[in-house]
């Protein structure tokens, strides 16, 4: 049966959702924070229900980190935030759907079924040895660690989530900055340069390559 990971720090809500999903015949794993979610999710996980307001990390950063680790399962965000820019930020982080609290269980089940049916593509490849930690906002590789600003974290996650693929400039701008932010043309290039330095700092096996006039991609050194 499909495996669903429920990440929610409200233990009552987490238990209710888990019980209902098990009654539907699904295999359910649970986590109360971002650290536990990263430990529990695997490339074989079929879907993730992920609260944005976790105690140790923003759920969107957890989603970004999962994508870089090869977890391609569709993500249904749960949140009390209903503004348009919040939804857009969730989608930019790699989320697939968005459900506002409080919600009705039948709607949750309906949205989850759609995501499970949609989950037929292969997950992205895992970047060997590289780990993004959303709780610490850091990049680690074989014991070495480099701190990341929130923008650096989101840009690097967007690039690592599509290994070998060109990520267009407009997609990186959406991933790195909130909707409506005024970002000068060379600001993205400056941040990519900072990301490159962080990869060198941890002696990462990958580098960021410029595709002129299009965007950037991560390739093996």
Go through the domains of the chain in sequence order and give each one's CATH number: 3-118 (3.40.50.2300), 130-220 (1.10.10.10)
Say what percent of the chain tops pLDDT 90: 47
Q: State residue 88's pLDDT score.
A: 65
pLDDT at 126 over 60: no
Task: Output the six-digit token pair for 145.
Answer: 């660690």
pLDDT in tens, 66-123: 887 878 888 999 988 776 666 667 776 778 888 999 999 999 999 999 888 876 544 4
Q: Please compute, for residue 114, the number of CA atoms within 13 A of its CA located in the half-sphere on the CB side.
A: 10
Q: State residue 4's pLDDT score.
A: 96
Determine how many CB atoms are found less than 10 A away from the CB of residue 184: 8
Nearest to residue 52, comparing CAs of 28, 74, 80?
Answer: 80
Q: Are 77 and 100 in contact (CB under 8 A)?
A: no
Say what percent of the chain tops pLDDT 70: 90
Give the strand order in the sheet containing 130-133: 130-133, 138-141, 144-147
How many angstroms separate the CA atoms of 56 and 62, rounded?
10
Task: Output the six-digit token pair for 95.
Answer: 């989320």
Q: φ, ψ for residue 147 (rounded to 5)?
A: -70, 150
Band of residue 136 on the pLDDT scale cut at 50, 70, 90: confident
Task: Output the six-digit token pair for 148.
Answer: 């990341």
pLDDT in tens, 164-188: 889 999 888 888 886 666 788 789 9
């Amino acid at each position: 049966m499909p495996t669903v990971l429920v990440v929610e720090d409200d233990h009552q809500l987490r238990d209710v959702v888990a019980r209902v999903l098990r009654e539907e015949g699904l295999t359910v794993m649970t986590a109360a924070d971002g650290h536990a979610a990263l430990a529990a999710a695997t490339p074989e996980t079929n879907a993730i229900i992920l609260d944005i307001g976790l105690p140790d990390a923003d759920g969107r950063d957890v989603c970004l980190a999962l994508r870089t680790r090869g977890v391609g399962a569709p993500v249904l965000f749960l949140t009390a935030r209903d503004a348009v820019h919040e939804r857009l930020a969730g989608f930019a982080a790699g989320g697939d759907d968005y459900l506002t609290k409080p919600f009705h269980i039948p709607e949750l089940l309906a949205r989850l079924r759609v995501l499970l049916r949609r989950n037929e593509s292969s997950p992205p490849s895992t970047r060997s040895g590289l780990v993004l930690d959303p709780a610490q906002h850091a990049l680690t590789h074989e014991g070495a660690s480099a701190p990341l600003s929130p923008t650096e974290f989101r840009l690097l996650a967007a690039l690592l989530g599509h290994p070998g693929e060109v990520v267009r400039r407009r997609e990186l701008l959406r991933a790195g900055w909130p909707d409506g932010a005024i970002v000068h043309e060379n600001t993205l290039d400056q941040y990519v340069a900072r990301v490159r330095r962080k990869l060198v700092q941890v002696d990462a096996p990958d580098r960021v390559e410029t595709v002129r006039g299009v965007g950037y991609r991560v390739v093996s050194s």
